[in-house]
Amino acid sequence: MEEKESPNLLDTNIDTFKAKFSTFGSRMFGLLKLFLGVVMLVFVYSFSRSFLSELGLIESEYQRYFWSGVISMLLFYLFVWEPAVIYNRGYRLVELLFNFFKPLVRVAPYLLPIYTIVLFLAFVALFYIFQLKDTVGYFVFLFGLTIALHLIFSAKTIRGKKGDFLKSNYVFGFSFIYILNVFLLALILGFIFNKFSVVDFLENSFQIASSMFKAVFRQLFL
């Protein structure tokens, strides 16, 4: 009987070791993502500051349109209705678009603000093909509204995932999503407004981030 039971005991020990090693590995990976997420928070700040600086150069009328869209989405989400069904349909659309490449299916819906991109394509068609130049303000309003929709529900979805050790997935994942979305929005506004310089936006973003990293380095090591 002992000879029959020993292999089972060995298998059990091996499975236990594998489980502990897997847990340890996942936690170490979680700590790495948390560290990278904290580093990316610097770029969240620098991209935000640089974007606001460039946005402040365009006509105040269009600035009001943009912020009206953002605030409208926030107020609607907080006090009227959570339009999760609208976000989910956009999520499914991106899944269908990237179904040919499986690795992107899992991340693309979080990364790409599909409604903002579709609106931009519609803007290009109406403005440059049909010469409907009076629609700029309305589209800027919708850009603000849809980018806020995407960021709100992407953050909510990532934050709600279980097994997120020290919220590392949330800090890292949403920081990356935010940076990419601000960059895409800067590209769109840079295409529409001559006063919004994407080159200056990127240069200022990295200069701010670089100065922050240098300041932290001096505090810690000098």
Residues 77-96: tens digit of each pLDDT: 999 999 999 999 999 999 99
Read off the pLDDT of residues 156-204 as tens digits, 9 standing for 90 and up: 999 887 766 657 788 999 999 999 999 999 999 999 999 999 999 999 9
84: Cβ contacts below 8 Å, ≥ 6 apart? 153
Mean pLDDT for the chain overall: 87
How does 48-60 read in b/e, with b if 16+ C-beta sit within 10 Å?
Answer: eebbeebbeebee
Give the C-alpha separation, 69 to 66, whole Å: 5
According to the model, what pLDDT value does residue 1 have? 45
pLDDT score at 8: 63
Q: Which two tokens stand for residue 49?
A: 């500051």
- Tell me the Cα Rg of the chain: 23
Q: How confident is the model at residue 2 (pLDDT cuts 50, 70, 90)?
A: very low
Distances (CA, A) of 46 to 5, 6, 9, 181, 204: 62, 60, 56, 14, 8
Q: Give the DSSP letter string of 152-176.
A: HHHHHHHHT-S--GGGHHHHHHHHH
Distance CA 128, CA 122 (A): 10
What pLDDT does residue 114 have?
96
Residues 123/154, Cβ–Cβ less than 8 Å: no
Which of 104, 119, 121 is closest to 150 using CA atoms? 119
Does the pLDDT of residue 14 top 90, yes or no?
Answer: no
Question: Which runs of E-coded beta strand occur in 89-221?
Answer: none
To 5 degrees, how large is the angle CA 180–CA 84–CA 52? 35
> How much is the pLDDT for 73?
98
pLDDT at 21 over 50: no
Please give the pLDDT value at position 53: 98
